[in-house]
A and B are shown apart, each in its own frame.
Chain A
């Protein structure tokens, strides 16, 4: 007997869901002018959200490029033994802040120096005159975050056993010469990120308000219908459901249209503005993250549509 009841309830739920879906589709199709208007507004919202996603990618990429140019170099005395340098390298690599440590031997350092000064004849001649390599071995240290260089530099100049042990072989650490540049870069990165978040939030809030109000207007047009539905005894979910289905459809179609618009836009930007955008080819970014971006758009568009419809109908259900 219980089985029968459960099957009956299940059938009723399936029927109700089917009717809500059909109601949503049919009124979406029959009110095509209204649907087009809503899709236009949701598309604009999604376009703003999508552009923000991409500009954040550009910003993040450029900041990473900048960050990548920063490192701290430890220069060793000319007679520093290689095994000690290797030991120091290992212990640096064990630090959680350190992303990578690169060992540059004196021979490589000299080659680099010569390459850098290949048009500076006087300097090259001076090196030749010297007869031996005046440069010591070095370690190039990259931190995971620019703000962590200070602690790495402190570690190298501190009182811990490793630092003390290596004091005799370290000639100098160039962090302190570069400190002001690194600090400035760090503050640019931090404020760049903050500004990005603030602009994103403001634009998203504005577009949400516009979309919400558009859907509210659409449902305002249907307020008499809603009152009739109530009078014939339709339950709240049965009245609300089709409007929410409509909202989800607006989100789905708008996200497809927005992805379509982004194709030529990013293609053009990828061809013409890659250098301007810090070297990130937006079209590649779009193509590589297509499904992820589409999913974000679809989910945010349809949730936005459904929630707006839910809230807007509520007003007419509670009177």
Chain B
């Protein structure tokens, strides 16, 4: 489903290789955790997948599409196949919980009836039914992250990408977020998670890809945290 073909990324600013000749295949329905120290290249890998950055060498495929050859309009459509969750939540600050999620649906061209039906439903799923009309600054970190997850899954994407989603959360909230991601994966959605939280990785017990200095050093089918 996702295929990194000998991808190298050099940032012009520091001339070092953030990713060094990476080849990686992720199949449909997998739960892949990507671990590594800060600066190992985890976030760069995610940015490649979201086409936020272009590879210096190599190609990134989604299904059979080279994602760096997409036009602007195709890129918007491609991104609707991927739900993204970030460490810093990245909610739209002047929109309510409801509007943040509705925005993703509006962007995907869903009609108003569908939005009115689905948004409350997904907010119930992440247990935020009572915070529908709160603004992000009125929510706790864990609540914000659950809004972000709700936004990521609302359009039923093929892939959920979660970049350090537990980084800013306490262990209880972190665990909750991971449980939600596992549930989403159980329903058939591919999940790609980056983290350096040992407890999180060990509790998932699925595929772990270890990155170091821009290279893949381990790729374990049923891995544990090994840094």
Interface residues in chain A, defined as those with a beta carbon under 8 Å from any beta carbon in chain B: 11-12, 15-16, 19, 26-27, 30-31, 224-225, 227-236, 238, 317
Interface residues in chain B, defined as those with a beta carbon under 8 Å from any beta carbon in chain A: 50, 52, 72-73, 76-80, 84, 90-95, 103-104, 106-109, 111-112, 151, 155
Q: Is the Cβ of A19 less than 8 Å from the Cβ of B104?
A: no
Q: Is the Cβ of B94 less than 8 Å from the Cβ of A234?
A: no
Residue of A27, A227, A231, A238 with highest tally of chain B CB at under 10 A: A231
Q: A236-B72, A236-B76 are in contact. Are A229 and B103 (CB under 8 A)?
A: yes
Q: Which residue of B lies closest to A226 (CB)?
A: B92
Q: Which residue of A lies closest to B53 (CB)?
A: A319
Q: Is the Cβ of B93 less than 8 Å from the Cβ of A225?
A: yes
Tell me, in angstroms, the Cα distance from A317 to B72 when the chains sit together: 9
Tell me, in angstroms, the Cα distance from A234 to B51 when the chains sit together: 14
Q: Is the Cβ of A233 less than 8 Å from the Cβ of B90?
A: no
Q: Is the Cβ of A228 less than 8 Å from the Cβ of B90?
A: yes
Tell me, in angstroms, the Cα distance from A11 to B110 when the chains sit together: 11
Q: List 9 A-B residue pairs with CB atoms under 8 Å apart, sorted by A's residue number.
A: A19-B106, A230-B76, A230-B79, A231-B79, A232-B80, A232-B104, A233-B107, A234-B107, A235-B76
- Inter-chain CB contacts under 8 Å: number: 58
Q: Is the Cβ of B94 less than 8 Å from the Cβ of A233?
A: no
Q: Is the Cβ of B50 less than 8 Å from the Cβ of A233?
A: no
A contact patch SS: helix
Tell me, in angstroms, the Cα distance from A225 to B77 when the chains sit together: 18
Contact of B103 among A16, A30, A232, A317 (CB under 8 A): A232
Excluding A11-B111, A225-B92, A233-B76, 11 further A-B contacts by CB distance (< 8 Å) are A26-B95, A227-B52, A228-B90, A228-B91, A230-B76, A231-B52, A232-B79, A232-B151, A234-B106, A235-B73, A236-B72
Which B residues are in CB contact (< 8 Å) with A236? 72, 76
Q: A231-B50, A231-B79, A234-B76 are in contact. Are A15 and B104 (CB under 8 A)?
A: no
Q: Is the Cβ of A234 less than 8 Å from the Cβ of B77?
A: no
Which A residues are in CB contact (< 8 Å) with B104? 232-233
Q: Is the Cβ of A232 less than 8 Å from the Cβ of B84?
A: yes
Q: Which residue of A lies closest to B107 (CB)?
A: A234
Which B residues are in CB contact (< 8 Å) with A232? 79-80, 84, 103-104, 107, 151
Which A residues are in CB contact (< 8 Å) with B79? 230-233
Which B residues are in CB contact (< 8 Å) with A231? 50, 52, 79, 84, 90
Q: Which residue of A lies closest to B80 (CB)?
A: A233
Which A residues are in CB contact (< 8 Å) with B91? 228
Which B residues are in CB contact (< 8 Å) with A317? 72
Q: Is the Cβ of B103 less than 8 Å from the Cβ of A234?
A: yes
Q: Is the Cβ of A30 less than 8 Å from the Cβ of B94?
A: yes
Q: Which residue of A lies closest to B99 (CB)?
A: A26
Tell me, in angstroms, the Cα distance from A119 to B25 when the chains sit together: 110
Tell me, in angstroms, the Cα distance from A283 to B76 when the chains sit together: 54
Which B residues are in CB contact (< 8 Å) with A16? 109
Tell me, in angstroms, the Cα distance from A13 to B137 when the chains sit together: 33
Which A residues are in CB contact (< 8 Å) with B80? 232-233
Q: Is the Cβ of B107 less than 8 Å from the Cβ of A238?
A: yes
Tell me, in angstroms, the Cα distance from A27 to B109 when the chains sit together: 20
Q: A12-B109, A27-B94 are in contact. Are A233 and B72 (CB under 8 A)?
A: no
Which A residues are in CB contact (< 8 Å) with B106? 19, 234, 238
Which B residues are in CB contact (< 8 Å) with A26? 94-95
Contact of B107 among A11, A30, A225, A235 (CB under 8 A): A235
Q: Which residue of B lies closest to A238 (CB)?
A: B107
Which A residues are in CB contact (< 8 Å) with B107? 229, 232-235, 238
Q: Is the Cβ of B84 less than 8 Å from the Cβ of A31?
A: no
Q: Is the Cβ of A228 less than 8 Å from the Cβ of B92?
A: yes
Residue of A11, A26, A224, A230 with highest tally of chain B CB at under 10 A: A230
Q: Is the Cβ of B92 less than 8 Å from the Cβ of A229?
A: yes
Q: A12-B109, A238-B107 are in contact. Are A233 and B77 (CB under 8 A)?
A: yes
Q: Which residue of B lies closest to A232 (CB)?
A: B104
Tell me, in angstroms, the Cα distance from A295 to B48 when the chains sit together: 49
Q: Is the Cβ of B84 less than 8 Å from the Cβ of A15?
A: no
Tell me, in angstroms, the Cα distance from A229 to B77 when the chains sit together: 12
Which A residues are in CB contact (< 8 Å) with B92? 225, 228-229
